[in-house]
Chain A
Amino acid sequence: GLTIFVLQTESIFSEEEEEKLQIAFSLEKQDLHLVLETISFILEQAVYHNLKPASLQQQLQNIHLDQDKAETFASAWAAAGQDTIEKFRQRVLTPQKLETIGWQLNLQMAESMQAKLKSPQAVLELGVSDEDSKNLKKVFVEFSHQELFEFYNKLETIQAQLDSLM
């Protein structure tokens, strides 16, 4: 039988891995590539059309793929299909994404220009990832009580918009 690896679109087998696969399946390099591309294509179509495992099996059988191969696809898809689709749903075209949120609440007692303050300050640490550099950029923002309240109101407005989509 043919064992199928569920591929994520971006995973590429390294040279070593390809060689191992070639040996394991007794395939030439070109044939191996063809097999991998075919499997990728089938899975990409399954993602695009959000196919249920049963539909996938049916479709494959319609194009005269062997029954046992179609079944293997279907069972692999049943196991990992939902997660894969969800991963694709989450992908966005914007390079920068908010990844982490940290915060600190301080009570400022004094500073060089003003004594005896006692004003609460919040510092938000936003970790923004950059798809290109794979680094997490930390953005530090300070809020007074009033400023934080205004920020919160804006977030509530956004939430109201999200709720109206439901």
Chain B
Amino acid sequence: ENTFNFTMQKCVYVNVQGLQVFLFLKRSCFSFLFTVTVNALEGKDCKESVKLIAESTNLSEEQLAFLISGMYTLLREALRLPLSTFKQEVSSGNTWSPDKLKAVSDASYHLNPICQGGERPASEGTALMQRSRLPSVQDLKWRVDVAISTSSLARALQPSILMMMKLSDGTAHRFEVPIAKFQELRYNVALILKEMNDLEKRSILKIQD
């Protein structure tokens, strides 16, 4: 808890210095910086853009570093919280409230849309959403076969299911699912879906952010 606060304060400290610099930036430069930061959050390569910024302004390397890291941290933290949080915190003394950001009138032009709803940048769908999770099913291929006859049985007439499961971590699993096991799988999946529905309806999820 304490270390977190310290880090947050350090960022604020950095940002305070950065924000002072914001005031002297032209709006075009600021919006360019903003775009670059969003690209960075989306995981795109920004080396070229950063070089361009460095050349087009007369900021020192140190000031530029402050600016970019400050903006990155700001955006990342702003995007971490769901939209509904901001509506309540506007009037509180929270460091990240858009009120404080409003003080920097030029900055608010870009940052308000993020904090107060409207369109969030694509970063929400990409780099920020690369959560730590177990692999999910990327692709599922299957086939149903009926064995007419085998080396052991002249008339087998036994259906079988073959599944080819590709997971998001790149692994692929091919296995046969006996009919009885398949029914068990189907039953369990339906059961989990029902449980999920019940869970989503319960009051615990109606707690306000």
Report yes or no: B192 in contact with A105, Cβ–Cβ below 8 A.
Answer: yes
A113 CB within 8 Å of chain B: yes
Do A89 and B196 have beta carbons less than 8 Å apart? no
For residue A151, CB closer than 8 A to chain B, the reply is yes
A112/B137 in contact, CB under 8 A: no
Contacts A89-B156, A90-B158, A158-B144 hold; do A98 and B188 have CB atoms under 8 A apart? no
Contact with B along A92-134 (1 / 0, CB 8 A): 1010111101010101000111111010111110101000000
Is B82 on the interface with A (CB-CB < 8 A)?
A: yes
| Stretch of B13-21, B62-70, B173-181 on the interface side | B173-181
Query: Is the Cβ of A98 less than 8 Å from the Cβ of B134?
Result: no
Q: Contact: A90 with B189, CB < 8 Å?
A: no
Interface residues of B in 163-209 (CB under 8 A from A): 163, 165, 167, 173-179, 181-182, 184-186, 188-190, 192-193, 195-196, 199-200, 204-205, 209
* Closest residue on chain B to residue A97 by CB atoms: B176
Range of interface residues on chain B?
Answer: 35 or more
Q: How far is the CB of B87 from chain A (nearest CB, A)?
A: 13
From 60 to 82 in chain A, residues with beta carbon under 8 angstroms from any chain B beta carbon are none
B3 an interface residue at 8 Å Cβ cutoff? no
Is the beta-carbon distance between B140 and A154 smaller than 8 angstroms? yes
Within B124-172, the residues touching A (CB, 8 Å) are 128-137, 140, 142, 144, 146-147, 150, 152-156, 158-163, 165, 167
In the complex, chain A residues whose CB is within 8 Å of the CB of B133: 121, 142
Q: A122-B192, A141-B134 are in contact. Are A98 and B178 (CB under 8 A)?
A: yes
Once the chains bind, are B152 and A47 in contact (CB under 8 Å)?
yes
